[in-house]
Amino acid sequence: MYDYVLFDLDGTLTRSGDGIKKSAAYAIARLGYAPLSDAQLDKFVGPPLLEMFMTLCGMDEPTALKAVGFYRERFESVGWRENAVYPGIAPLLRALRAAGKYVAIATAKPEYFAVRIAEYFGMAPYLNAVTGASMADHHADKAALIARALPAGADKRRAVMVGDRKFDVLGAKAAGVHSLAVGYGYGSRDELEACAPDLFAADVSSLFSLLGVERPRGCFITFEGTDGCGKSTQMALAADWLSERGWELVRTREPGGCPISERIRQIVLSDASDADARGMTDECEALLFAASRAQHVHDVILPALRAGKIVLCDRFLDSSIVYQGYGRELGEDFIRQINKPALSARPDLTLLYEIDEREALGRATRDGHADRIEAEGAAYQRRVQSAYARLRDHEPERLRGVDATGTIEDVFARTQKALSDFLDTKE
């Protein structure tokens, strides 16, 4: 198996085509050349740009150099961020590092951009090195980059270069390391087959076994807090942020999350003015939440965790403990008992958004509508709030309090901190 795993960046770790193609099209337009088709622009992803401007647009070298200048102008300001890490790459890099492998990027892109991208998209903590071309090198030789990306004295027979274009495969062969071509990037099947890579991975999932690491088990992250604390907004932002960084996610919520449970949600969260629901007993309410959860765990949460995904869930068992156990005063033991079917899915991390209860309720009911639970009085809300605080003190390693005061951006910065602390340290 391999001790040294080198990755190409564009089309292998990141789906960067959008930013690259738009920047190339911008340069071509600035120089007054005829626009290229989308398929032609695809060819810009991976190889040195100068060569592409010359072969695809028929530019001479001085003009192509100007094109690279215009390209970089746009790429530097916006293009580098029109990018996302492929789903599943984040757990792959983490598993490789955890297995003690040497992991590096070897790209024909200027190292300056490659480092910035690796940092911004959260890959840097898992990498031993990021090797790219210099800004002035327009003919970057992949074999030389590969040699430079390896540590001194590395046994090349135990090294593999993973990439999506023929340049990566041919570079690997010239550098004397194994080649692994990926079929999900920008190289066509024909292009890759023609250069006969040692190994082929059709998707990110197959990279785990080909590189000799196990796919880590998924993890379960829940978002909790009193009504109006902003947790749903934070969860939506967190989902986008984690996906862009290459984590595979399932977003869900309680009560609900699957068809049966969404129907239960309609009953249990009916409007405060709904006469039919007004007579619902506290026990009935607690059992409906538990019923919804049992189905949700079975249909959505456990399958996603088994598939190695991160599950982000807006509320879970803690909500029943605080709202029904303490708010309705049914007691924590009763709630835990009726929720036994859900105990097989224990959250690995719970972010608890903490805010003054009056401010929170003001936010929650600003639109003038309150569900049955939001319409409860202040004493009830206070019991809920103090029950959350008690849970947090009782299980500090799982429940992390997040200060939910300030702007959405302020709170999101705290959310990001909590998530990176957890994901970068989790075994």
Nearer to ligand TYD, 165 or 231 (CB): 231
Under a CB-based contact definition with an 8 Å cutoff, are residues 11 and 164 in contact?
yes
Stretch of 15-23, 154-162, 316-324, 413-421 lying at the interface with ligand TYD (CB under 6 A): 316-324
Q: Within 222-251, which residues bind ligand TYD (CB under 6 A)?
A: 227, 232
Q: Within 251-270, which residues bind ligand TYD (CB under 6 A)?
A: 254-255, 269
Under a CB-based contact definition with an 8 Å cutoff, are residues 169 and 178 in contact?
no
* Strand intervals (E) in 101-260: 102-110, 129-133, 159-163, 178-182, 199-201, 219-225, 249-253
Considering the complex, what minimum distance in angstroms separates the CB of residue 181 from ligand TYD?
Answer: 45
Under a CB-based contact definition with an 8 Å cutoff, are residues 388 and 225 in contact?
yes
Closest to 117 (Cα-Cα) out of 221, 16, 17, 192: 16
Nearer to ligand TYD, 200 or 334 (CB): 334
Considering the complex, what minimum distance in angstroms separates the CB of residue 316 from ligand TYD?
Answer: 7
Site string for ligand TYD, 336-375 (x = CB under 6 A): -----------------------------------x-xx-
Binding residue (CB under 6 A) for ligand TYD from 72, 101, 315, 400 = 315
Under a CB-based contact definition with an 8 Å cutoff, are residues 332 and 377 in contact?
no
Considering the complex, what minimum distance in angstroms separates the CB of residue 376 from ligand TYD?
Answer: 8
Cα separation of 289 and 286, whole Å?
Answer: 5
What lies within 8 Å, CB to CB, of 100 at 6+ separation is none
Question: Is 225 within any annotated ligand binding site?
Answer: yes
Nearer to ligand TYD, 196 or 343 (CB): 343
Interaction of residue 314 with ligand TYD, rule CB under 6 A? yes
> Please, is 377 exposed, middle or buried when counting C-beta atoms within 10 Å of its C-beta (0-12, 13-18, 19+)?
exposed
Nearer to ligand TYD, 149 or 313 (CB): 313
Interaction of residue 387 with ligand TYD, rule CB under 6 A? no
Considering the complex, what minimum distance in angstroms separates the CB of residue 400 from ligand TYD?
Answer: 18
Considering the complex, what minimum distance in angstroms separates the CB of residue 422 from ligand TYD?
Answer: 21
Interaction of residue 143 with ligand TYD, rule CB under 6 A? no
* Strand intervals (E) in 214-362: 219-225, 249-253, 310-314, 349-354
Q: In the chain, count of helices (H) and strands (E)?
A: 20, 11
Considering the complex, what minimum distance in angstroms separates the CB of residue 256 from ligand TYD?
Answer: 9
Stretch of 28-36, 123-131, 141-149, 317-325 lying at the interface with ligand TYD (CB under 6 A): 317-325
Nearer to ligand TYD, 300 or 373 (CB): 373
Nearer to ligand TYD, 111 or 254 (CB): 254
Binding residue (CB under 6 A) for ligand TYD from 113, 289, 326, 353 = 289
Interaction of residue 319 with ligand TYD, rule CB under 6 A? yes
Total interface residues for ligand TYD by CB under 6 A:
15
Four-point Cα dihedral 400, 405, 407, 409, nearest 10: -10
Residue with tokens 């999506």: 164
Question: Is 46 within any annotated ligand binding site?
Answer: no
What is the DSSP code string of 4-67? EEEE-SBTTTB--HHHHHHHHHHHHHHTTPPPPPHHHHHTTSSS-HHHHHHHHH---HHHHHHH
Considering the complex, what minimum distance in angstroms separates the CB of residue 339 from ligand TYD?
Answer: 9
What lies within 8 Å, CB to CB, of 37 at 6+ separation is none
Report whether the peptide linkage leading into residue 255 is cis, meaning its omega lies within 30 degrees of zero: yes
3-state SS assignment for residue 225: strand
Question: Is 425 within any annotated ligand binding site?
Answer: no
3-state SS assignment for residue 246: coil
Nearer to ligand TYD, 171 or 327 (CB): 327
Considering the complex, what minimum distance in angstroms separates the CB of residue 293 from ligand TYD?
Answer: 7
Considering the complex, what minimum distance in angstroms separates the CB of residue 343 from ligand TYD?
Answer: 14
Stretch of 134-142, 318-326, 353-361, 401-409 lying at the interface with ligand TYD (CB under 6 A): 318-326
The two three-digit tokens of residue 148, written as one number: 């430079």
Q: By the criterion CB under 6 A, which residues form the site for ligand TYD?
A: 227, 232, 254-255, 269, 289, 314-315, 319-320, 323-324, 371, 373-374
Annotated binding residues for ATP, written as ranges, equal: 225-232
